[in-house]
Structures are given as C-alpha cells and as structure tokens.
Structure 1
Amino acid sequence: MTYSVAVSGASGYAGGEILRLLAAHPDIEIRTVTAHSNAGQPLIEHQPHLRSLAHLELQETTPEILAGHDIVFLALPHGQSGQYTDALGDVPLIIDAGADHRLESVADWDRFYGGSFHDPWTYGVPELPFRGGKQRERLVGATRIAAPGCNASTVSLSLAPGVAAGVIDPSDIVSVLAVGPSGAGKSLKPHLLGSELLGTANPYAVGGVHRHIPEIRQALAAARVTDADASSRSSRSATGDEGIRISFTPVLVPMARGILATSSAPIAPGATDADIRGAWEAAYGDETFVQLLPEGSFPRTADVLGANTALMGLAIDRAANRVVVVTAVDNLVKGTAGAAVQSMNIALGLSEDRALTVNGVAP
C-alpha cells in the first residue's frame, strides 16, 4: 500500500528533513508540501538538496489543502499546530513536530509556552522506557503522534534507564548540551548568523527557562510511575513535585547539526557498577537506533551526522558519586524527523527502520 502524505512547514529545516527521509520511503507518496510566507514558490528554491522533489510547489498551509491525505506531518513553529490539528479530524494519521501536543500538564504549558493548550498525543520516542515497557508499544496503531523536542529526547533517552531501574537519584540532574543552531529553525535571527556563531560558544535559556525542561521531566517521570500516578499528573504543578529536578543548560556551537548532551545524576544508595551499566544495557541492548558504546568509549556528533542514531557513552564517577552519560544525536534526524518517521512506521505496522539508517556521513 502507498500512503499519500502532506508536509507543512516544508521550507524549514525540520520540514526539509522529513521530506528527505520520506523521499526514500518506498511506501510513501509525497503529494503536497505547504508553507506560509513562501507559498507559491518551488520547493527546490528552499530545499535545493531535494532534487527528487523538484516538481513540487509550496502551497498555502490551510486545513483544506492538508485534508484528504493519509498522513499529515506538521513542522510548524510552537503554538501553531493546534489550529490545524483541530480541523483535521478526518486525517487517519497526523504527526506533529512542534510542541503543541507534547505536554500533559496545563501548568507546564502555561509557564513555558503560553497560549491555547491542546491535548497530549502519543510521544514519538519509541525506545524510551515507559512504565515497565517502551513508548514503542503505545505507538502501535496510533493516529496522533507528538514528535519530540530534540534536546528533550536526547536527555530523556540518556537518563531514563537509570530512573526506571532506580540506580540514579533524579532529584539532582545536571545536563549541559552543545547544540547546532539548526535546532532553532530557519527564520532569520541575529544571534544565529554565521558571524555571531563562528569561533564562539553561546549559552542560552539558562536558569531553568528552556522549554524542553517540562518535556524531559514528563518523560523521566513516565519511566518510573504507575498508571495511577500518571493519571493525576496533568493536574500537578510544574514545581518539581514528582521528585525530578534538572539543571539544563544548552550552548550553541558552530556546527550546523548535532547535539552532544552530557548529563549526570547522583548514584542511588546501594547501586553497584554492574547494576548501573546493566540498566542501560537492558534498556538499549536490543535497540537498533539507540546504542550504548563499550565501556570507556564516548560518541562524537560527527558519528551520527545524517543518521537516525543516538550513540551513548556511560561513565561511573565514584569520586563524585555520579553517573555521567554522554549522548550524541543529529538534532534534525533522531532528534526530530527521524523520530517522526520511525514512529510513523510503527503506527502503520511497517518495518521500524523503513527509510532510516544507522550510518552517518563522514568526514
């Protein structure tokens, strides 16, 4: 069966990466691409690397144009997807690459985003531990999927095995991330200009204000809580009352793509070195796209460029009594578009790795 697809926000970075992956998918026909200010222009003018899609023209982003497809991908700025998802009830499968359907807590949405709150959808990180299983099980047959925030999924994947196994204390998490500016989107902003980025590293959203913090806390809480606890989560405040606290500092660095996340948390009382490494091996030992490296090895962002792979190195720092996890992803692939396509494959009952690769591009 061939599925017809529309991709909104097709002139942006996330939309372009979704299109790049779907262009190689044997079960997908990319029928429609839409944009806002660039509507009416050839797609190839904005995505010149997508030569096989040169016949497509960007159309207006409206519910009428997006309707009538088997699958709709929304790659829109945060706060803009909801107005379309409310009007696309007849579309069999919608995957939102924005934040509109990620959060379960109204309080978190109001604090970190603001505007209209929309119901949470199934979270699109298949490998993430979830209440004794994996998010993958929830994606089977899903019709509404929220693709993750790239920083959020990277940190969550890094630490969820330790939270689920009880070998780390999640009340004192520290994460520092080196991030490529493509994660901020394609719109022109002075601090993202090459002259501002080259030769420097720039911290941003410092001091607990980054929008991915509640998404990380939500994912880590779901790795360990019971169904009864989860049912009341949406009514809780965003003050850390689930016992998960994180100091999160992203730093823009001069590479177009990539995230290198260094996350640490205290070792839980009584946890042995074997218990700790065993938790990550049990979580990801059979996974294709999340791989724990051998002891003493740590990833580089160059190793995951263009791949749907999260590579992870783990260290046990007994002197500081902390577990340290270093994870590398391509923020546009595993962090966004790859996670969306992987989740789509699962929802449709296709092979999970359809049109996705573990192989990066070098040099």
Structure 2
Amino acid sequence: MGYSAAIAGASGYAGGELLRLLLGHPEIEIGTLTAGSNAGTPLIQHQPHLLPLADRVLAPTTVEELRGHDVVYLALPHGQSADIAQQLGDDVLVVDCGADFRLNDASAWERFYGTPHAGTWPYGLPELPGQRDRLAGARRVAVPGCHVTVATLALFPGLAEQLVEPDLTVVAVTGTSGAGKAPKPNLIGSEIMGALSPYGVGGTHRHNPEIVQNLTSVTGEPVKLSFTPVLAPLPRGILATCTAPLKPGVTAAQVRAAYETTYADETFTRLLPEGTWPSTAMTLAANTTLLQVTVDADAGRMVVVAALDNLTKGTAGGAVQSTNIALGLPEETGLPLAAVAP
C-alpha cells in the first residue's frame, strides 16, 4: 500500500528538494502542494527543474488543503508550523523541516527565536544514538537544522567514547540556499560572488543550542561550543571543520577506531579511507554525510572534517529518511547515495 504526501511550502528550496526526492520514492505519491504568497501560481514557475510536476498549481497553505494525506511535510518559515500541526490529527505523520519542535529547552527556544516554545517532537536524525527507536511509528518528526546534522555527526562518536573534552569548535562553510529563497541584499550575486563572510558569530546562530542539545545527549558532561558559520558563493553544500581537545592518553588509533565502529553499518554517513578528505562536491544531491578524522598531535586535538548537501541530507533527505523509519519502510527507500558530478 502506498502513502500520499502533501508538501506545504512547495515553492521554496526545501520544498523543491522534497519534491525531487519524492518523485523517485516508490511508496509515496505526491498530493497537494501549497505555498504562501505564491499560492495560485504554477509550480513550474518556481521549480522549473521538476518537469513531472509542471501541471501543478500551488494551493494556499491551509489545514483544509493539507488534510486527507498520510504524510504532511511542513517546509515553512520558523514559527509557522505549530498552528497547522495542532489542527492535523494524530493519524497523520507530520514532518516539520522548520525549527519549531527541535529544542527540548523552552528557554533556549525563546532566547534564540523570540517566541513561545511550541513543544518538542521526536528528532529526525536517525544516526544519533537511540533515535531510530524513537522515530519508529512516530506521528510527528522534527527534522534537524543543516549545520546541526553535520556538526552532530562529526563530533558525537568522539564524545560518546569519552575520547575528547566537551569543549568544541566548529567552523562551517556553507552555500546560500540555506538562507532560503526570499530576496536578501547580502545574497545577491554582486555581494556573494568572490566573497566569504561570517555570520551568526559569537554563539548567536540559531543552530547553536540544537548542536549543544544533541552532543550533550551522548556525554554526561556539559558541552561548550564555539560555532562560526561562513557564507560562501555556493548554491548548496556545507563543509565543517570540527575540533576538540583530546583527553589525556588518547591516541590517534583510538579516535579512528571509534569512528570506524560508529559508522561501520551506516548507509548514509561514511568515514572515508585514510588520506581522502571530504568536499561538498562529493555530496551534491546525495543523502550522504562524508567524514574524515585525524589527530593534530602538536595541538592535542581531534580534527573532523565533514561534508553534506544542506538541502538533501541536511533537510529534505533527512526528512524522507525519517519518514521511512516512521512508516516502517526500509530506511534507504527513495534516497540517493550517488552524488552529481562534475
């Protein structure tokens, strides 16, 4: 038996990536597509690469339009998912690609987002210890932030095995699609081309508390994080360099063994052979996170470099991966392992 899915926010980048993946999903049929200000316009006007859906017209994002589906994906601006989700029944699988239900700590939500906390849903990062059990049969799923996915997968094995101190530094170079489709002066071609620029510096980025939340869950110690994202002239992709001080006596062999063991059976998160370093091109349009780990002996630090496509594994691919688990389908269903090159 197949499942029907509605996508709210189908004209945006996350919505478009969800549609691209669902077009190749053998068990999910694409139903109603909705949008906000773009309602009433043809999808092809906003997603010209999705030719199989060229005849679709975007409906307004209302509960009435979204009802009647087995799965509802919410690819909406932060703060807009809660009202809709509350009106959809518990028999519907609602997968939120926004931030509304990611954080456990209401005070952290209010500090970083400035609105009342809507609650906490099962968390859609299957590779994080314990999450597959929480996602199995779930009717609500909160998809992680893209920076959160790459930083969590890069760092948690070292923390879980007590190999590093929980004093973490992450510098993540990212493409412009993570900022969404809405026009912004700092994202126009003449501003972004040929330039790198930091943003969310000094612990102010909204993904900060989410990364800390995830990594605290795998270690019994409080986690400190210095996270600096850097905007690069790329359409999509994140390359994160993540470091932490080694605990006394820890060797490079122990560190590599921990990552090899953690990811030995994972389909989508892979430790690369020694000497091969990730690049964003290696993950383009694939539901993969590729990692390399080493030890900087002079600095006494573990260094992990990780890459993913922020729209695929970082958003829509993570959503579909979690959907598969929630519905009891094989986790890999409809998700690409091969990237696009050159």
Cα displacement (A) at 1:90? 4.1
The one of 235, 259, 265 aligned to 1:286: 265
Cα displacement (A) at 1:103? 0.2
Q: Is 1:362 aligned to residue 330 of structure 2?
A: no
The one-letter amino acid paired with 1:182 is S
SS in 2 for 1:355: coil
The one-letter amino acid paired with 1:335 is G
Cα displacement (A) at 1:63? 1.1
Alignment of 1:1-363 (within 5 A): 1-128=1-128, 130=129, 134-170=130-166, 172-225=167-220, 243-363=222-342
Cα displacement (A) at 1:202? 0.9
Contact 1:69 1:91 (C-alpha < 8 Å) held by counterparts: no
Structure 1: 5+ residue stretches without partners: 226-241
Q: CA–CA distance in 2 between the matches of 1:91 and 1:9?
A: 21
Contact 1:71 1:91 (C-alpha < 8 Å) held by counterparts: no
Q: CA–CA distance in 2 between the matches of 1:331 and 1:62?
A: 27
Q: CA–CA distance in 2 between the matches of 1:223 and 1:13?
A: 32
Contact 2:252 2:294 (C-alpha < 8 Å) held by counterparts: no
Tell me: CA distance 1:91–1:192, structure 2 relative to 1, closer, same or farther (3 Å): farther
TM-score with structure 1 setting the length: 0.92
Cα displacement (A) at 1:194? 1.2
SS in 2 for 1:15: helix
Cα displacement (A) at 1:348? 0.8
The one-letter amino acid paired with 1:348 is L
SS in 1 for 2:338: coil
TM-score with structure 2 setting the length: 0.98
SS in 2 for 1:122: coil
SS in 2 for 1:14: helix
SS in 1 for 2:295: strand
SS in 1 for 2:87: coil
Deviations 1:296-319 (A, max 9, x none): 221110010010010001110111
CA RMSD of aligned residues (A): 1.0
Q: CA–CA distance in 2 between the matches of 1:273 and 1:340?
A: 34
Q: CA–CA distance in 1 between the matches of 2:161 and 2:138?
A: 27
Q: CA–CA distance in 2 between the matches of 1:252 and 1:281?
A: 31
Q: What is the percent sequence identity of the aligned residues?
A: 56
The one-letter amino acid paired with 1:175 is V
Q: CA–CA distance in 1 between the matches of 2:86 and 2:225?
A: 33
Deviations 1:310-357 (A, max 9, x none): 000111011100000000000000000000000101111111111111
Contact 2:90 2:139 (C-alpha < 8 Å) held by counterparts: no
Contact 1:316 1:323 (C-alpha < 8 Å) held by counterparts: yes
Contact 1:6 1:69 (C-alpha < 8 Å) held by counterparts: yes
Q: CA–CA distance in 2 between the matches of 1:91 and 1:176?
A: 41
Contact 1:296 1:315 (C-alpha < 8 Å) held by counterparts: no
Deviations 1:256-280 (A, max 9, x none): 0000000000001222222211111
The one-letter amino acid paired with 2:161 is A
Q: CA–CA distance in 2 between the matches of 1:282 and 1:99?
A: 31
The one-letter amino acid paired with 1:27 is E
Deviations 1:200-250 (A, max 9, x none): 10110101100000000111011235xxxxxxxxxxxxxxxx520111000
Return 88-97 or 18-27, whichever deviates more. Answer: 88-97
Cα displacement (A) at 1:91? 4.4
Structure 2: 5+ residue stretches without partners: none
Contact 2:169 2:244 (C-alpha < 8 Å) held by counterparts: yes
* Poorly superposed stretches of 4+, deviation over 6 Å: none
